[in-house]
């Protein structure tokens, strides 16, 4: 046996031979004379079709494919790279380079679909002639005779109606395409474009769906089964009829053996090899649906919905899968405990933000996503009650006119508000007389908060909220300092995170980075903190809010380390909150009913929301070192 023959067999066995070399097998089957006639006829027909092309001036310009980018599926991952979800419109597709597709698959597809692919110029005269004869006898188009190139232009440019004029246009476009692109380029476009069944477009998603593998990892048996799907994916899918899929696989393997591209032994081994099927992946639900919704919302705002569904983005989120699951379990467990305690609240929401980066670390939009898909952490604006007061007192400290030790009068007062008078009342009734701001905030007194808000200016309070990134609507009504507006848990957590970082702020985000499928960066959310608050005022507020947990209304939030926070309870007990933080994490917890039904007498943020916050933070900070807030004395007072 010659050394060249031995080398060819070794290349065939290893899969290293270029795909065009397997065109030699066609000559072995058809004979050299027929092959010569085929190639000559192909050239003649190609030349004739180029002349005929002048009659098809309205056909698409195939040169647009030079910059063609097929629609691709967008993938979302957690912070460590774990897959969370895939987003796509009609086409679930992931584009892959030809060199990353296993040679077994390339040979199988060419063998069963167009064994002369590397020999013709876009049209195979033998196949076309046979199809024309059959169609002429039947009086309609019943047989195609299409090459891979003709199939590609049909999918990209033409409708699917069976008419002679369309077949001619298909042939003309195929010839044009072959004049511009190489065979390998056409094969790559074809394998990434065609439909493989179950909403899988392109070989990569097909390989992942049918066999849970990359396209580069497919063996001969798997490749032959996938190649057999192309003719009629829904008929030959192994998910529906495995036996029928095996019969079609055998046809592909037999054709490969006839062409000399595999041996009889390889054919038999592939036919008898057991196949481990994957599962349909096109419409899988998200691993973390609340996170996916938040990601999609942010992506749509930045790129538009169409680009998100078709742009093949790779999205790294700020979320750790296990951390989010812990947060969800905490909310579910807390809800069950509240029911046992007699508090019949429909929902609990939680949002956690890292003050150092303003990366969102957890978002729990409700007790059960399966029962309700509404994401209350980012979509539900509920009154924060007294949890809004820190914004008022920060504005007071930043004005330079007040400090935590400043005196405020907790005495009756009335204000002209709209068409009537507004007289604030403390929770539980009564008045405390003269007291420091520290005492007023620690005990969550309402009257002093309204007085301070009016003194510094309600427009100034709103300005502070806007600076902190709060976008929900606000009006300068007298009751604003008591939280008489709606905010989301994420807005609250993000704003408090800036207090925790002594006034340094980044825009909260659930996205770290977005790239396209080639790795080009489309969005980089590397934190770029900017100082937006007065450091002394922020540190002063922190020192007061530490007292809320140590000896005020939030003692149920004690976690064994320094922490700051504020309770919130609205009138009629419709909403209860606890928002708190340490230097490494700020978390907002909200409890309420979607229909705004009161939770019942005695339902307070300190009694119900604070324990949930405590449970979550203990778990979240288990491996975090204890850190302390900077004292106000470190900063210059405004």
Please compute the mean of the pLDDT values over residues 607-626 and round it to a whole number: 97
Poorest-pLDDT segment among 134-143, 177-186, 314-323, 611-620: 134-143
Does residue 9 register a pLDDT over 90?
Answer: no
Instruction: Say if CB 547 and CB 566 are below 8 A apart.
Output: no
Does residue 404 register a pLDDT over 70?
Answer: yes
pLDDT of residue 127: 65
Q: Of 496, 491, 479, which Cα lies nearest the Cα of 385?
A: 479
Highest mean pLDDT range out of 191-205, 409-423, 615-629?
615-629
| The two three-digit tokens of residue 532, written as one number | 């937006």
pLDDT of residue 38: 45
Please compute the mean of the pLDDT values over residues 602-612 and round it to a whole number: 95
Poorest-pLDDT segment among 22-26, 27-31, 190-194, 254-258: 27-31
CATH T-level topology, domain 324-634 = Beta-lactamase (3.40.710)
Q: 622 φ, ψ to 5°?
A: -55, -40
Does residue 248 register a pLDDT over 90?
Answer: yes
Poorest-pLDDT segment among 123-132, 137-146, 299-308, 490-499: 137-146
Instruction: Tell me the C-alpha distance between 22 and 31, whole Å.
Output: 15
Task: Identify the H or E element spanning 416.
Answer: strand 415-417
Instruction: Say if CB 616 and CB 330 are below 8 A apart.
Output: yes
pLDDT of residue 51: 47
Establish how many alpha carbons lie within 13 A of residue 464's alpha carbon, considering only the half-sphere containing its beta carbon.
32
Does residue 209 register a pLDDT over 60?
Answer: yes
Residues of the chain with pLDDT > 90, as a percent, come to 67
Please compute the mean of the pLDDT values over residues 343-372 and round it to a whole number: 95
pLDDT of residue 59: 67
pLDDT of residue 634: 96
- State the pLDDT confidence band at 162, using cuts at 50, 70 and 90: low
- State the pLDDT confidence band at 7, using cuts at 50, 70 and 90: very low
Poorest-pLDDT segment among 46-60, 341-355, 518-532: 46-60
pLDDT of residue 37: 37
Does residue 3 register a pLDDT over 80?
Answer: no
Please compute the mean of the pLDDT values over residues 77-95 and round it to a whole number: 86
Please compute the mean of the pLDDT values over residues 79-94 and round it to a whole number: 85
Instruction: Say if CB 324 and CB 311 are below 8 A apart.
Output: no
pLDDT of residue 468: 98
Instruction: Say if CB 505 and CB 469 are below 8 A apart.
Output: yes
Residues of the chain with pLDDT > 70, as a percent, come to 84
Please compute the mean of the pLDDT values over residues 187-202 and round it to a whole number: 89
Q: Which residues contact 379 (CB under 8 A, 6 or more apart)?
A: 365, 488
Please compute the mean of the pLDDT values over residues 476-497 and round it to a whole number: 97
Please compute the mean of the pLDDT values over residues 331-353 and round it to a whole number: 93
- The helix-helix angle for 489-500 and 389-398 (nearest 10°) equals 30
Does residue 32 register a pLDDT over 60?
Answer: no
Instruction: Say if CB 598 and CB 344 are below 8 A apart.
Output: no
Instruction: Say if CB 543 and CB 436 are below 8 A apart.
Output: no
- State the pLDDT confidence band at 616, using cuts at 50, 70 and 90: very high
Does residue 320 register a pLDDT over 70?
Answer: yes
Q: 167 φ, ψ to 5°?
A: -65, -40
> What is the per-residue pLDDT across 488-537, written as a single tens digit (0 to 9) for each?
999 999 999 999 999 999 999 999 999 998 899 999 999 999 999 999 99
pLDDT of residue 68: 67
Catalytic residue among 72, 94, 113, 188: 113
Instruction: Mark residue 446 as left, alpha or beta (left: phi above 0; alpha: psi -120 to 50; beta: remaining).
Output: alpha
Instruction: Tell me the C-alpha distance between 70 and 72, whole Å.
Output: 6
pLDDT of residue 420: 85
Instruction: Tell me the C-alpha distance between 405 and 411, whole Å.
Output: 18
Please compute the mean of the pLDDT values over residues 414-441 and round it to a whole number: 91
* Domain residue ranges of the chain, discontinuous segments joined by +: 21-58+90-272, 324-634
| The two three-digit tokens of residue 236, written as one number | 């030959």
Instruction: Mark residue 186 as left, alpha or beta (left: phi above 0; alpha: psi -120 to 50; beta: remaining).
Output: alpha
Instruction: Say if CB 84 and CB 292 are below 8 A apart.
Output: yes
pLDDT of residue 341: 85
- State the pLDDT confidence band at 283, using cuts at 50, 70 and 90: low
Poorest-pLDDT segment among 53-62, 153-162, 355-364: 53-62
Does residue 310 register a pLDDT over 90?
Answer: no
Q: Mean pLDDT score of the chain, rounded to an integer?
A: 87
Does residue 53 register a pLDDT over 70?
Answer: no
Bridge partners, 566 (sequence order): 579
Instruction: Tell me the C-alpha distance between 173 and 147, whole Å.
Output: 12
Does residue 15 register a pLDDT over 50?
Answer: no
pLDDT of residue 176: 87
pLDDT of residue 1: 41
Instruction: Say if CB 542 and CB 633 are below 8 A apart.
Output: no
Catalytic residue among 386, 506, 517, 540: 386
Q: What is the DSSP string of 87-105?
A: E-SS-EE----GGGS-HHH
Does residue 462 register a pLDDT over 50?
Answer: yes
Does residue 70 register a pLDDT over 90?
Answer: no
CATH T-level topology, domain 21-58+90-272 = Penicillin binding protein transpeptidase fold (1.10.3810)
pLDDT of residue 124: 84
| The two three-digit tokens of residue 36, written as one number | 């010569």
Please compute the mean of the pLDDT values over residues 172-201 and round it to a whole number: 90
Does residue 5 register a pLDDT over 60?
Answer: no
Please compute the mean of the pLDDT values over residues 47-71 and round it to a whole number: 61
- State the pLDDT confidence band at 335, using cuts at 50, 70 and 90: very high
Burial class (CB in 10 A: 0-12, 13-18, 19+), 243: exposed
Instruction: Say if CB 494 and CB 353 are below 8 A apart.
Output: yes
Alpha helices in 15-147 (DSSP H): 24-30, 32-52, 103-113, 125-138
Q: What would you report as the CA-atom Rg of the chain, rounded to the nearest whole angstrom?
A: 34
pLDDT of residue 370: 86
Position with higher pLDDT, 279 vs 354:
354
Instruction: Tell me the C-alpha distance between 383 and 83, whole Å.
Output: 35
User: What SS3 class is residue 187?
Assistant: helix
> Could you confirm whether 137 is annotated as catalytic?
no
Does residue 388 register a pLDDT over 70?
Answer: yes
Does residue 100 register a pLDDT over 80?
Answer: yes
Does residue 135 register a pLDDT over 90?
Answer: no
> Could you confirm whether 113 is annotated as catalytic?
yes
Q: How far is CA 621 from CA 364, 484, 582, 607, in A?
A: 18, 32, 9, 22
Q: Is 324-634 in the same CATH topology as 21-58+90-272?
A: no
Instruction: Tell me the C-alpha distance between 117 and 120, whole Å.
Output: 6
pLDDT of residue 19: 53
């Amino acid at each position: 046996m010659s050394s060249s023959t031995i080398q060819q067999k070794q290349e065939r066995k290893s899969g290293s031979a270029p795909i065009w070399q397997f065109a030699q097998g066609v000559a072995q089957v058809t004979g050299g004379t027929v092959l010569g006639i085929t190639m000559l006829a192909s050239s003649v027909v190609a030349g004739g079709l180029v002349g005929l092309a002048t009659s098809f001036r309205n056909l698409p310009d195939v040169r647009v494919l030079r910059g063609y980018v097929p629609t691709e599926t967008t993938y979302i991952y957690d912070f460590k790279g774990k897959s969370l979800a895939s987003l796509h419109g009609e086409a679930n597709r992931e584009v892959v380079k030809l060199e990353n597709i296993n040679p077994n698959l390339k040979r199988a597809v060419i063998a069963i679909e167009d064994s002369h692919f590397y020999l013709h110029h876009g049209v195979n005269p033998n196949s076309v002639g046979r199809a024309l004869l059959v169609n002429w006898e039947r009086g309609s188009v019943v047989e195609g005779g299409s090459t891979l190139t003709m199939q590609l232009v049909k999918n990209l440019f033409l409708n699917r109606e069976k008419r002679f004029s369309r077949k001619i246009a298909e042939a003309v476009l195929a010839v044009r395409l072959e004049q511009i692109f190489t065979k390998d380029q056409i094969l790559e476009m074809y394998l990434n474009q065609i439909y493989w069944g179950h909403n899988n477009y392109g070989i990569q998603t097909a390989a992942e769906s049918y066999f849970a593998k990359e396209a580069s990892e497919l063996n001969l048996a798997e490749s032959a089964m996938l190649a057999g799907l192309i003719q009629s994916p829904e008929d030959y899918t192994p998910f529906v009829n495995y036996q029928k899929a095996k019969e079609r696989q055998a046809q592909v393997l037999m054709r490969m053996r006839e062409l000399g591209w595999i041996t009889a032994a390889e054919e038999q081994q592939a036919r008898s090899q057991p196949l481990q099927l994957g599962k349909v992946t096109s419409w899988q639900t998200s691993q973390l649906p609340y996170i996916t919704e938040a990601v999609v919302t942010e992506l749509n705002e930045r790129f538009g919905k169409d680009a998100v569904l078709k742009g093949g983005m790779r999205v790294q989120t700020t979320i750790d899968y296990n951390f989010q699951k812990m947060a969800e379990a905490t909310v579910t467990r807390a809800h069950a405990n509240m029911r046992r305690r007699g508090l019949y609240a429909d929902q609990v929401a939680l949002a956690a933000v890292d003050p150092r980066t303003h990366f969102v670390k957890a978002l729990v939009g409700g007790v059960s996503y399966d029962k309700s898909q509404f994401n209350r952490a980012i979509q539900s604006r509920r009154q924060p009650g007294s949890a809004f007061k820190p914004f008022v007192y920060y504005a007071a400290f930043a004005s330079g006119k007040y400090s935590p030790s400043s005196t405020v009068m907790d005495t009756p007062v009335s204000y002209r508000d709209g068409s009537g008078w507004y007289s604030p009342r403390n929770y539980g009734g009564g008045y405390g007389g003269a007291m420091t701001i520290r005492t007023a905030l620690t005990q969550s007194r309402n009257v002093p908060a309204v007085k301070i808000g009016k003194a510094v200016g309600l427009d100034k309070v709103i300005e502070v909220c806007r600076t902190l990134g709060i976008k929900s609507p606000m009006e300068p009504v007298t009751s604003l300092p008591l939280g008489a507006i709606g905010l989301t848990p994420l807005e609250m957590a993000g704003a408090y995170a800036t207090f925790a970082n002594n006034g340094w702020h980044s825009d909260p985000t659930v996205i770290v980075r977005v790239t396209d499928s080639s790795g080009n960066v489309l969005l980089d959310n590397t934190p770029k903190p900017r100082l937006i608050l007065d450091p002394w005022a922020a540190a002063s507020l922190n020192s007061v809010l530490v007292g809320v947990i140590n000896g005020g209304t939030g003692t149920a939030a004690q976690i064994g380390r320094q922490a700051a926070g504020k309770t919130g309870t609205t009138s009629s007990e419709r909403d209860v909150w606890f928002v708190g933080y340490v230097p490494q994490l700020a978390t907002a917890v909200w409890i309420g009913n979607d229909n705004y039904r009161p939770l019942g007498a005695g339902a307070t943020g300190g009694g119900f929301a604070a324990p949930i916050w405590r449970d979550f933070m203990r778990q979240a900070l288990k491996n975090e070192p204890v850190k302390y807030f900077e004292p106000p004395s470190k900063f210059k007072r405004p």
